[in-house]
Amino acid sequence: MKRTEIATVLKEEKIGEKILIKGWVKAFRSNRFIQVNDGSTINNIQAVLDFENTDEATISKINTAAAVSISGELIASEGKGQRVELIIEQIEILGEANPEEVSKTVMQPKKHSLEFLREQAHLRFRTNTFGAVFRIRHGVSFAIHKYFNDKGYFYIHTPIITGSDAEGAGEMFRVTNLDAKNPPLKDDGSVDWSEDFFGKETNLTVSGQLEAELAAMALGKVYTFGPTFRAENSNTARHLSEFWMIEPEVAFNDLNDNMDLAEDFLSYICKYILENFADDVAFLNEREIQEQKSKPQNERNELTLIERLNFVIANDFERITYTRAIEILHNSKPYKKKKFKYPVEWGIDLQSEHERFLVEKEFKKPVIITDYPASFKAFYMRQNEDGKTVAAMDILFPGIGEIIGGSQREERLEVLKEKCAAFNIAEEDVWWYLDTRKFGTAPHAGFGLGFERMVMFVTGMTNIRDVIPFPRTPKKAEF
C-alpha cells in the first residue's frame, strides 16, 4: 500500500478506506490514542490502538518523537477534537526515541524558550510553532514567485560572489582561498589579490540590484530572489548576517508605478497566506494571543495577527514625502514634549522611534515615505527637480519597521556620472552599469523586500532568527 499524507487524509475524509500513514508520535495517551504528525499539516491524526492485541515490545516503543508506520481503516470519530480517526490494524516502529533523551529536547511537548529552540534549530522543525513558521515561509516564497511569474516577470539569478563594491549597502564578507596566514604579497607589501581564485578581491553580495537593472534594460520586467550578506556586528532581533532579498526591477516604471507595484505585491502575499495556510496562521494567531496575555496592557498588539494581515489587504498604504514626514514629526506630541531621543531635522535620516511614531501612532497603517534627501541615499537614485531630494521610497510596517526600500533609478548618463564622482565611485569600476545608460537608456525603477521581515510579519514572530531555518549572526554559524 502507498503512504497517504496526513494533510490529504484529513482533507479528504474518506471514511471506510484502508490507508497507510507514516509519521512521528506527538503524544500517546490512555494506552490507546496515538497522535501522529508527518509535517504535511499542523494537524495530527488520531490513531487508535488495540492495546490488548498489540505486543508489549511494540507498545513500549510508542513514545513521543518515535517514527511509526500505521495502516488501518479510517472512521468517523466520536471523540472531541477530530472528525476522523484511524483504527490501527498494523503498527510498525520505524525509529525509536528514548523518552529520557527526548525530555531534554524541544520535542518534549511543553513550553520552551525561543532561545532554547534556537540552540536546537535542527529539531525545532518538529515543534508546532516552527512547523507552522516554516510551512508559511515556503508559502511566502511561492507566493512571490507566482506573483511575478503570473505578471510576466523573469527571475534573474544575480551573482553571490562579486568583485564589485559599488552598491555601498554595508560591510561585506571577503571570499578567498588564499593562504590565511601567509597570503602572497606584492612588492609594496600589500596582499596580492591577483593570486586569489578570481584574480581579484571578491566579496559576498549585498544586493543584486545593479545586475538586475542590466537584465531589466533588456527583458523589461525582472526580479531577483537570493541570499544577501552584511558583515555588521549588530545583534538585534531585526538583523541577520545572511538573509534573503527580493528585488524587482522594471524598465519604463517611475516612482509611482514602483509604489503601486510594491503595495499590490505585499497585499497579494498576505492574501495568499491567509487563503492557503489558514491552519498554520490560525495556530500562530492563537499562540500570539496567549503570549500577549503575559505582557502589560500598553505593550500588547492592538490587532491580532489575522487582523493585521487583513488590514494590509483592505487598506491603502499612506504615501507621504520625507519633507511632509518631518513636518508631522515637528508637530507631534512626543517632539513637543521632547520624548524623541534623536533630533528631527530636515536632512537627517529618520530613526526607528520616528518611523514607529508615524506608522503606529499617526497613521496606524503601513506608510510609504518618498523623496528623501539625496545626502543619505545611494548614488543610483534618481535626482528630483528640486536638486536636493531623490526619487526614493521606503515602506514601513507596524512592528517591523522598514520592509521595503526602493527608488526610481537615475537613467541620465551625465547625472549618473556626476553622482559617481560625488560618491567616489570610479567610472571604470561601474563601466558596465553606465553602459546601460549609453545604449537606449530609459526610466526604470525597483525595490528590495527583506524576505525574513516579510515572514516575520505574516507569522507574527518577533525575532528574525526564528523565521530562518539556520540563522547566521555575529559569532553564530551553527549547523
Q: Which of residues 406-465 bind a copy of itself (CB under 8 A)?
A: 411, 432-433, 435-443
Which one among 12, 13, 89, 171 touches a copy of itself, defined by CB under 8 A? 171
How many chain residues touch a copy of itself (CB under 8 A)?
A: 110
Quote the least distance from Cβ 354 to a copy of itself, whole Å: 31
Residues 409, 11: Cα–Cα separation, whole Å: 48
Residues 325, 319: Cα–Cα separation, whole Å: 10
With cell 566579496, the residue in question is 203
With cell 508615524, the residue in question is 358
Site string for a copy of itself, 298-337 (x = CB under 8 A): ----------------------------------------
Q: Is 116 near a copy of itself (CB under 8 A)?
A: no
Quote the least distance from Cβ 342 to a copy of itself, whole Å: 28
Instruction: Map the footprint of a copy of itself across residues 4-23, applying CB under 8 A.
Output: 5, 7, 22-23
Q: Is 169 near a copy of itself (CB under 8 A)?
A: no
From residue 260, give the alpha-carbon distance in Å to each of 108, 210, 267, 446, 447: 46, 22, 11, 11, 12
Q: Is 109 near a copy of itself (CB under 8 A)?
A: no
Instruction: Map the footprint of a copy of itself across residues 128-157, applying CB under 8 A.
Output: 131, 134-135, 137-138, 141-142, 145-146, 149, 152-157
Which one among 30, 53, 190, 298 touches a copy of itself, defined by CB under 8 A? 190
Residues 191, 309: Cα–Cα separation, whole Å: 52
Q: What are phi and psi of 279, to 5 degrees?
A: -65, -45
Instruction: Map the footprint of a copy of itself across residues 17-76, applying CB under 8 A.
Output: 22-25, 38-40, 65-67, 69
Residues 469, 423: Cα–Cα separation, whole Å: 37
Q: Is 207 near a copy of itself (CB under 8 A)?
A: no
Quote the least distance from Cβ 109 to a copy of itself, whole Å: 13
Residue 125 CB neighbours (<10 A)? 15
The smaller minimum CB distance to a copy of itself, of residues 317 and 451, is found at: 451
Q: Is 472 near a copy of itself (CB under 8 A)?
A: yes
Which one among 95, 237, 286, 361 touches a copy of itself, defined by CB under 8 A? 95
Quote the least distance from Cβ 90 to a copy of itself, whole Å: 15
Quote the least distance from Cβ 281 to a copy of itself, whole Å: 15
Helix 305-314 × helix 451-459 angle, to 10°: 120
Query: Which residues in 46-80 are b (16+ Cβ under 10 Å) and which e?
Result: bbbbeeeeeeeeeeebbbbbbbbebbbebeebeee
Pairing of strands 367-370, 318-321: parallel
CA quadruple 193, 199, 200, 202: dihedral, nearest 10: -110
Instruction: Map the footprint of a copy of itself across residues 249-288, applying CB under 8 A.
Output: 251-252
Say if residues 352 and 358 touch (Cβ distance below 8 Å). Answer: no
| Set of cell numbers at residue 179 | 593562504
